[in-house]
Amino acid sequence: MTMKNKVVVITGASSGIGEATAKRLAKDGAKVVLGARREDKLARITREIEAAGGQAVYQVCDVTVLADNQALVALAQARFGGLDVLFLNAGLMPNSPLSALKTDEWAAMVDVNLKGVLNGIAAALPIFTSQRHGQFIVTSSVAGLKAYPGGAVYGATKFAVKDLMEVLRMESAQEGTNIRTATIYPAAVRSELLTTITDKQVAAGMGELYDQYQIAPERVANVVAFAIDQPADTNVSEFTIGPTTQPW
């Protein structure tokens, strides 16, 4: 396996897809660096990984702050001697109709879902460029592939990272820096995303959908591991992940 001893930084690592991915990659021999805003959860996950024989460190990180992203990358270099993969997983989904004018929530989604990704790229890209290898993986959403009412701003941020990752891959190929990218489009996955929805009608509808269709975050972690574990000369760009029973 190519996973063993790879240094992987994960944002949004305190729950859901981030937590499941950290545990899966550590089990496979990667050295994981966890970043999120909730220190108590990061500390617990790190202890659990270490107890299972894995290697992990953590640092509190707000992805909307460039310096926090840079500090997380620096921690990877200081503790594990380098950086191979940055999994940009932090995200918010406070969906609502545009007519509700929840502009503060719009701004929060842009800051975390898009600017947070850009901050991560800014922190790691110089390292990847210098060493002439590296991989960015980002959690988008099926909302980054198809539009639906109530998800305009969330979807816009997730459509944006699709383009961002593809252009990043193309530019790296032109520049000969060998940087790989992968974009993941999960459907309903068990996580804390629904807790950010303040619109009662939208929250009720999304709750019913997730109750019927959601799959475990470990399913996404498996795909992240697959993307990382490909040979250095192979890029796997996009994955749509959802429940087999979902009819739309």
Which of the residues 58, 154, 185, 210 is marked catalytic?
Answer: 154
Distance, CA of 52 to CA of 94 (rounded, Å): 35
Cβ contact 132:84 at 8 Å: no
138 neighbors 88 (Cβ within 8 angstroms): yes
Measured CA to CA in angstroms, residue 119 lies from 72, 86, 113 at distances of 11, 11, 10
The DSSP symbol for 236 reads -
CB 217 within 8 A of CB 19: yes
Angstrom distance (rounded) from CA 14 to CA 35: 7
φ, ψ for residue 13 (rounded to 5)?
-90, 5
Is-catalytic flag, 148? no
Helical (H) or strand (E) element with 22: helix 16-27
Residues serving a catalytic function are: 154
